[in-house]
Amino acid sequence: MSIPTEVLYSALSTLVSFLVTIVILSYVIGDNPFFQVVLHIFIGVSVGYVLVVAWNQVIWPELLHPVVAGIALQDLRAVWLLLPLVGSLLLLMRAVPRVAILGQLPMAYLVGVGSAVIVGGAVLGTLLPQIDATIGAFDLRSARLHPFLTLFSSVLILVGVLGTLAYFHFGARQLEDGTIRRNALVGALTWIGRVYIAVSLGVIFAGLVLTALTAFISRVASFRELFDALDAIGKHF
């Protein structure tokens, strides 16, 4: 009797997955040591996995190896790689309180570059295209549906956009009697926006439920996978 290694590893991984899933689901009953152990193991494995990935796929092949190879080969292009290397070292200085201030420079660089990229991408990739799409929805020439439905859909989208934006507009003015109220039109749009936002949140919640249900189904399916693995192993006996 010999069990194929692939089948054995598959059955073993399925068993580990099943046990870990059971332990995690045990949190439904309450916090327990098994849950904590599995949780800590998961965190450790995740960090280890990230470090391995970072070392194997980023630090060594894209930073250290080129620098070392460049120095060895006297390639001046490797000098430019010293800048990210120094920056990475300075970031590591933040772990030491005395020299933590040295990490502010590379951190400032990261924040500046990251913010600029995000802002630029948001404006050029989301804001302007979405505004253009909202306006262009009324162009019935490119309508894929019936013009009336397209127009109705465009109106709904426009009202939803304006309503949602108005909902986050908190400007108001003080009336003569001292009360602070929004403009009537803004108030109406705000009410509509509130409806749209509520619907959107409901949709997002439904997506979360579906995602969670799918994950639950996949975990329950792992039971069957375990049985299938055990069945496969049993076939070899």
Partner 1 sequence: MAEIKCPMCGKPNPDDLDACQFCEARLKPVTDELSRSQPPIHVGDEPTKKDTAELEPVLPKWLREVRQQARESVEEQDEEQEQQEPVGAGDQHEDLLAGLQSDIEEDEIVPDWLSNLHGGEPSEIQDAIEISEDRLRAISGDAESSNSDMGTGDRLPGWASHPDAAQETREGGETLGDWLAREVGKEKAQEAGEKAPEESRAGFGLRGDAETDLSFQGESVDESAQFEGEIPSWLRVDENDATSEGGIGTKPLEEPAYREAPEDVQVGESAQDEPVDAMPDWLSSLGEETDGHQAGGDETVAGNGQAVKDDQGPPGAESELSFGASRPESSDEDEIPAWLAQMGEEEHQDEAVHSASEAGPEERIPRPAVQPEADEGWQDLSEVKPFALEQDVVPNEAADGSALLGEEDGAGPGEDVDALFSIEMPDWLSAVEQSAGPQASPEPEADSEVIRPAELPSWVQAMRPVEAFVSGEGAGGERSDTEQKGPLAGLSGVLPLVPGVGPSSKPKTYSIKLQASEDQLASAEQLEQLLEAESYPRPAIPRPGLPAQRWLRMTIFALLLIVVGFFLFAGTSVMYIPLSVTAGTAQALNIVREELLPDAAVLMVFDYQAAFAPELEASAAPLVDHMMLLKHPRLTLLASKPSATGLSERFMHNTQPGQSYVNLGYLPGDAAGALAFVENPRSAKPAIVDGQSQWETPALQGVTLVSDFAAIFLLTDEADTARIWIEQLHNRRGATRLVLISSSQAGPLLVPYMESGQIDGLVVGLEGGAPIEKVNSNRPGTVRRYWDAYGFGLIITITMIVAGSFWNLFSGWQANRKKTGEK
Three-state SS string across the chain, please? Answer: CCCCHHHHHHHHHHHHHHHHHHHHHHHHCCCCHHHHHHHHHHHHHHHHHHHHHHHHHHHHHHHHHHHHHHHHHCCCHHHHCHHHHHHHHHHHHHHCHHHHHHHHHHHHHHHHHHHHHHHHHHHHHHHHHHHHHHHHCCCHHHCCCCHHHHHHHHHHHHHHHHHHHHHCCCCCEECCCCCEECCHHHHHHHHHHHHHHHHHHHHHHHHHHHHHHHHHHHHHHHHHHHHHHHHHHHHCC
Could you say which of 4, 44, 125, 234 contacts partner 1 (CB under 8 A)? 125
Min dist CB 53 to partner 1, Å, is 4
Binders of partner 1 in range 49-78 (CB under 8 A): 49-50, 53-54, 56-58, 61-62, 65
Question: Which residue of 97, 177, 184, 235 would you call a contact of partner 1, by CB under 8 A?
Answer: 177
The answer to the question of residue 9 lying near partner 1 (CB under 8 A) is no
The verdict on 92 binding partner 1 (CB under 8 A) reads no
Q: Which of 71, 217, 234, 236 binds partner 1 (CB under 8 A)?
A: 217
Min. distance of Cβ 43 from partner 1 in angstroms?
12
Q: Which is nearer to partner 1, 114 or 187 (CB)?
A: 114
Residue 61 CB: number of other CB atoms within 10 A?
A: 11
Kindly state the number of chain residues that form the binding site for partner 1, as judged by CB under 8 A. Answer: 55
Q: Of these, 41, 71, 82, 124, which contacts partner 1 (CB under 8 A)?
A: 124
Nearest residue (CB) to partner 1, 28 versus 76: 28
Choices 72-80, 94-102, 111-119, 190-198; region in contact with partner 1 by CB under 8 A: 111-119
Interacting stretch for partner 1, rule CB under 8 A, among 73-81, 96-104, 184-192, 210-218?
Answer: 210-218
Positions touching partner 1 (CB under 8 A) are 25, 28-30, 46, 49-50, 53-54, 56-58, 61-62, 65, 113-114, 117-118, 121-122, 124-126, 129-130, 132-133, 137, 144, 157, 177-180, 200, 203-204, 206-211, 213-221, 223-224
